[in-house]
Structure 1
Amino acid sequence: MTGLLRPVRRSRRRDLVAVPARADVLALAALLLAYPDDEHLAVRDDLGTAVAALPESAAAGHLRGFLDATAGWSEARLRRHHVETFDLRRSTSPYLTYYLHGDTRRRGAALLGLKQTYRAGGFVPPEDELPDHLPIVLEFAAQAGPGAGEAALRTHRAGFEVLRAELARRESPYRHVLDAVAAVLGPAGERVHERARAIIRAGPPRDDVGLGAPLPGYGSATPSGTPYPPTTCGSTSHALGHPDRQRVAPVALGLPAAPGAPSATPAARPEGP
């Protein structure tokens, strides 16, 4: 997979876990978490080949675990499971700032901060998706490197761990993809686990103005699995199960893209010193 991604910037962090093909693992995780639309299904075999070509590591093994778990799934089943997992439940929202800030005013500032980080790194995310969407955060991490690139993942590690734990509890194949990312990031500290447990107990923060009873899904007696519209935990730009949703484009890994399909690519940099 050499040459498929931009050169990764070196980081001065000394607590990084040594993971072979670190950027490729994160980029593949982004693609595997994306909605399985026609574009992604067309390169499904190519993704499998790319995962198989990764150097041996725990992270690579987890990605292979996802492919093994979904190997016999039909296209309809893949799409249905993705929608049921990431669009219909707050507890498995793919929008990282939701866990830390909930539906509060602080979330808007966090989203703006992510956009500014992307802009500073020369990264242009899709316009039809929020910047905290996990596949987008992962693609930026893959392209920008383990320092600034992985900063958002580390800032929102507690929310990531909540999502990871819930996917494991539900035995979703997507748990393997998050396990791969966790293997790249390294073990979470006790403070992260404490914050994750607090989110699971009480739910993400919420503004009290204009709200009555606690919203179902977190910190309430509503049975787990009750469906919620995506506007409660993420982007308002997608209808449930919309067949034409575009997430992270396969061109990020040098894979073929459907004609006319939008892509998340780095902004062109001016030539010169």
Structure 2
Amino acid sequence: MLILKVVSRLLDYPTEALFGAADEMISVVEQSDELSAQSRAALVEFIRQLTARELYDAQESYDLLFDRGRALSLLLFEHVHGESRDRGQAMVDLMNVYKSNGFEVDSSQLPDYIPLYLEYLSEKLPVYIQEWLGDICHILTMLSERLIERKCHYNVLLDLLIEVSGVEVDRAEIVDTVSKEVRDDTVEAIDKEWEDKEIRFDDPMVGDCPKSGIHHSQKSLDPNTVNQVPIRWHDADAAQVAGL
């Protein structure tokens, strides 16, 4: 599904090559039948606005948005497992899924990096894609609402992925939760994050999970409540057979 490759590139760090491929990406979007006409128009406008900027400015904005604080991290397991030890095993499991399906990761990025995740899915059948995107819709919606809260148009990309998944998302509770969050990308918040903390050997490596099922990334997620934000690794062969 080429549209996922386009979104993957746009969610990644802006480069000269990306800007040079603007017309090609727009062509793919305009020919996509996975998106509504309204969504195609929104994505084309996003591409034009992004690539009309000075590259350095676009890169600086990207860094400030996605690499400053954890709330907008593009690492899926940041929002599922936080700092808990389950995160490492989840990485191994996902990498094994990639390898078992012939997807070679030629990247320094971690396997749960959303653009990499989309690159993998872009080679799969629609039924497989919808299942996998459906599994992370709670994360995509949370990220989208945080971007909307910051008046950033990158939310267009997350909303398109939700549309492709076919999942009907009830955003009301997520909107309410996000509106009450304290920003973690301010100078004060970053300084506090880097403060030395008392080491306690009797302190468990777990945290609280909000009733809404949305994980505040500053905390770890209790392994006993991980099922509140599930990611299931679907069987590729079964999905492909179902799509035939």
Percent identity of paired positions between Structure 1 and Structure 2: 23
The reply on whether 1:89 has 2:72 as its aligned counterpart is: no
Hey, what does 1:34 align to over in structure 2?
A: 12
**Contact preservation (8 Å) 2:5, 2:119:** yes
Equivalences for 1:141-180 in 2 at 5 Å?
A: 141-180=121-160
Hey, what does 2:23 align to over in structure 1?
A: 45
Hey, what does 2:32 align to over in structure 1?
A: 54
User: Which letter does structure 1 place at the counterpart of 2:159?
Assistant: D
Give the Cα separation in 2 of the matches to 1:101 and 1:111. Answer: 11
Hey, what does 1:136 align to over in structure 2?
A: 116
Deviation at 1:102? 0.9
Question: Going by fraction, where is helix more abundant, 1 or 2?
Answer: 2
Give the Cα separation in 2 of the matches to 1:89 and 1:187. Answer: 28
User: Which letter does structure 2 place at the counterpart of 1:31?
Assistant: R
Alpha-carbon RMSD: 3.0
Hey, what does 2:88 align to over in structure 1?
A: 108
Hey, what does 2:58 align to over in structure 1?
A: 78
Cα separation, partners in 2 of 1:101 and 1:193, compared to 1, 3 Å: farther
**Contact preservation (8 Å) 2:3, 2:28:** no
State the Cα deviation string for residues 91-145 of structure 1 (Å, max 9, x = none). 1111111111111111112111211111122111234111111111111111122
Q: 2:99 aligns with which of 116, 119, 126?
A: 119
TM value normalised by structure 2: 0.66
Give the Cα separation in 2 of the matches to 1:148 and 1:78. Answer: 33
Hey, what does 1:67 align to over in structure 2?
A: 47
TM value normalised by structure 1: 0.59
**Contact preservation (8 Å) 1:158, 1:193:** no
Cα separation, partners in 2 of 1:187 and 1:61, compared to 1, 3 Å: farther
Give the Cα separation in 2 of the matches to 1:162 and 1:142. Answer: 22
**Contact preservation (8 Å) 1:29, 1:177:** yes
Structure with the bigger RCO (C-alpha within 8 Å, sep 6+) is: 1
Deviation at 1:201? 8.8
User: Which letter does structure 2 place at the counterpart of 1:179?
Assistant: D
**Contact preservation (8 Å) 2:43, 2:156:** yes
User: Which letter does structure 2 place at the counterpart of 1:158?
Assistant: H
Gaps of 5+ in 2: 195-216, 218-244
Deviation at 1:29? 0.7
Give the Cα separation in 2 of the matches to 1:43 and 1:100. Answer: 33
**Contact preservation (8 Å) 2:91, 2:112:** yes
Give the Cα separation in 1 of the matches to 2:52 and 2:3. Answer: 23
Give the Cα separation in 2 of the matches to 1:106 and 1:156. Answer: 17
Alignment length (residue pairs): 189
Cα separation, partners in 2 of 1:189 and 1:168, compared to 1, 3 Å: closer
Give the Cα separation in 2 of the matches to 1:91 and 1:160. Answer: 12
Deviation at 1:71? 5.0
The reply on whether 1:225 has 2:185 as its aligned counterpart is: yes
Give the Cα separation in 1 of the matches to 2:148 and 2:166. Answer: 18
Give the Cα separation in 2 of the matches to 1:162 and 1:200. Answer: 7
